[in-house]
Amino acid sequence: MPQETPLDVSTPVTVLTTDQRDWDEADETLLESMLVQTHAIRIFEEAVLSLAGEGLVHGPAHSSIGQEGAAVGSVLALRTADGVNGTHRGHHQFLAKGFSYLRPEGMSLVDGIKGDDLGEFTRRTLSEILGLKDGFSGGRGGSMHLQWMEAGALGTNAIVGGGVPLAAGNAWAQRQDAVVTRHEEGAEEVGPLDTGVTVTYFGDGASNIGSTLETFNLASAWDLPLCFFLENNRYAVSTLVDDVTGESHLAARGPGFGIRSWQVDGMDPLAVYLAQREAVEHMRAGGGPTLIEAQTYRFFHQNGPFPGSAFGYRSKEEETQWRHRDPVDRVASEMIRRGLITEEQNSDLAQRIREVIEEIVAGVTEKDPDSERGARRIVPALWPDAEGVDAHLRSDAPLGEVLAGSEEPPEGEGTERRFVDVIADTLGHRMAQDPGVVVLGEDVHRLKGGTNGATRGLAAEHPDRVLGTPISENAFTGLAGGLAMTGRYRPVVEFMYSDFMWVAADQVFNQIGKARHMFGGQSSMPVVLRSKVAMGAGYGSQHSMDPVGIFATSPGWRIVAPSTAEDYAGLMNTALDLDDPVLVVEHVDLYGAKSSVPAGVEEHRLPLGRAAVRRPGSDVTVLSYLNMVAEAVAVAEERQDLDAEVIDLRWLDRASLDWETVSESVRRTNNVLIVEQGPAGTSYGAWLADEIQRRLFDHLDQPIQRVTGREASPSISKVLEGAANADRESVRAGFDTIAHQLGLSGEDRD
């Protein structure tokens, strides 16, 4: 007879409520700040909706009206150095964090938001929402991407749940900062760390997406000082939370991940404040992550100045009920009840705030001379210069130069070493030099250096900076992104197989690739992503891709593909010197290859954006990278009819590709063969061929020829895999095509 006993999920989840005594005991200055901030956010949001109604907000205006209390109550429990990030509905969190940063001592009824710095902050926030050059991100981010790093506002995010892993990175950095600081100060290694904390705000919609749930687990596993602040406003656009989850007590998700959790009335700013204060204490003391579900309500639809009932997914009655619980009124009425203010003073405060905001709006708008109806328009001079459309895509590191350290190639005595050992030693060298280098990925801390040995010895030397991750590529890649955005850490992420980039695609492409540009260059993004290509290893359709062709289409990423161990060290070191995300492509075929590597190679640095001519020649320029360089050279040596120049591209992305070397060669040879191993569909060569034909059309004596694998991803079966990938015979066929098109003896095998 099977027996069943209740499983004790020991992590508590509690409902926190306030009563009149709590309000009576609340600090006056806290309530003053609450009232000023909630009023200010409400009036600001009304101004934004009004501008949206006039068609002056390009894109959506996701109003936070109704939810002000959740953000204000939460932020007031934080220190200025604590970090916050949020989602597309983030004006209230951003404003609260900014006000609190500028007035850490609290805001006063007398001043409201008067004050040059407060006015300037509000003006810059509105400018950003309107897409104007004076915005924090120069108008690039707009309503959904508000970032002010100085104030600890790490950036709001338009991908639902997308900001959650990034917040985990900030939290990891805060805890590591605290550990390092205590270590440096020689303090006792006992007692609470008193770390900084990060709060990531998201909604009920984001509580069901993988990046959030993955990060729940990751933060809990690593005890990160990260608060998951869930503003449950009940609707994901028009979808009711009960429609899409079996457990609508969203706070109940925390204990399943071992996360201390609270549920609180989000319309009660004091309750939120008290819950947040408890959560902060828990985190600063090293208790790990926390979750707060604040039950709240947006008074309007997803975006724009109309109520949700106008769209039929909820009733006016429901809206009226929630409006009776208005958080701004709640704070005001409690203060009036306590005799801290009068009705008139409250109205007067609101009026004064409104005047400040109206003045700001008046400063960015003017009468539209083309309008017959007296409409307003944005003051034209405030738009950003369209010339700068591509600015801040990446750092301005100079091409052709070594970015740090010595330019001299290593000249130490050569010893036979395996390629993969040079990877581990180079990483070890950088970790020893730079306490900001953090290695993370699946199994990187075990198995004597991960599945291939590329991180051998690192965990023993730096146990706190070699992080074996859960199988959650999106979360740990995003965590690396958040780490990098701090500017203090340089994460080195390992993808065990390149195909996993699709699993992490949001963090890789939407977040890491776009962040610097989207936020107007406010933060850099020094993520190094080591990604293994396992073509030929029999791992089949989902473990064999070459990621280069995909990454080349993502503007933020730089790409290096080392073909030799010495180049690996040189390129990895330069990648770690860059403030940009860099994909370092590795091939399993090269890991075991032994070659004579000079001593001191770990310090070797190659200049940014320099290709290597592996074999000079005059008849055709063969462009390749990674393992296929050696194949191309081997075939070039066989040929009697063609004197091929083989160029190892090394740097593959749009910004770093060595056009000087490629152009010089093509202008001389007038023929181009691009050699890669992987399938035609995601081929890098397609992109490269297009660039070449547009830049060098008049120098081409035949179409650009390409060697690629076949259409499908390689199969497990050895013969099918061999047939799917390009091999030496495919390279020979490519050379034959070149020869044939030159009217030489070669036969076109296409």
Partner 1 sequence: MAELITMPAIVADATEAVLASWMVSAGDEIHRGDPIAEVETEKATVELTSEADGVVDRFLVEPGASVEVGAPVAAVRAAGEDADAVERLLASAGGDRGPAGETGAEAPTPSDATENAPGESERSGEGGDSPSSGEAAQRSSPSAGRDHARVFSSPLARRIARENQLDIASLPGSGPSGRILRKDVERALAARQEEAAVPAPAEPGSPTPEPASAERPAADAPAPGYRDEPLTGMRRAIARRLTESKTTAPHFYLSVDVQMDALLATRRQINAALEGTGGRATVNDMILKALGAALTAVPRANATWEGDAIRYYESVDLAMAIATEGGLLTPVVRDVAGQGLGALSRATADLKDRAARGRIRQHELEGGTFSVSNLGMYGTREFSAIINPPHAGIIACGASEQRAVVRDGELAAATMMTATLSADHRVVDGALAAELMRSFKHTLENPLAVLL
**Contacting residues toward partner 1, per CB under 8 A:** 390, 393, 399-400, 609, 654-655, 657-660, 663-664, 667, 670, 691, 694-695, 697-702, 740-743, 748
374 or 743: CB nearest partner 1: 743
Least Å from the CB of residue 699 to partner 1: 5
Least Å from the CB of residue 691 to partner 1: 7
Least Å from the CB of residue 398 to partner 1: 10
Least Å from the CB of residue 660 to partner 1: 5
Q: What is the DSSP string of 167-193?
A: HHHHHHHHHHHHHHHHHHHT--S-S--
Q: How far apart are CA 519 and CA 380, in angstroms?
A: 22
> Are 605 and 406 a contacting pair, CB within 8 Å?
yes
Least Å from the CB of residue 685 to partner 1: 16
> Are 145 and 157 a contacting pair, CB within 8 Å?
yes
Burial-class residue 519 by CB neighbours within 10 Å (0-12, 13-18, 19+). buried
Least Å from the CB of residue 702 to partner 1: 6
Within 103-209, residue ranges assigned H as helices are 116-130, 163-185
Q: Is the sign of the CA dihedral 428, 429, 433, 438 positive or negative?
A: negative
399 or 723: CB nearest partner 1: 399
Least Å from the CB of residue 211 to partner 1: 31
DSSP state, 82?
Answer: S
362 or 389: CB nearest partner 1: 389
291 or 657: CB nearest partner 1: 657
DSSP state, 651?
Answer: B
Give the contacts of 250 (CB within 8 A, at least 6 positions apart): 204, 207, 230, 232, 241, 263, 293
Active site residue 740: no
593 or 700: CB nearest partner 1: 700
Active-site annotation holder among 62, 145, 543, 604: 543
Q: Which of 481, 569, 476, 494 is nearest to 531 (CA)?
A: 494
Burial-class residue 414 by CB neighbours within 10 Å (0-12, 13-18, 19+). middle
431 or 608: CB nearest partner 1: 608
586 or 653: CB nearest partner 1: 653
Q: 618 to each of 269, 334, 662, 676, 750, how far by Cα in Å?
A: 75, 85, 13, 21, 24
Q: Which of 501, 635, 614 is nearest to 557 (CA)?
A: 501
Q: 315 to each of 63, 308, 309, 310, 405, how far by Cα in Å?
A: 19, 8, 5, 9, 66
Catalytic residues: 543
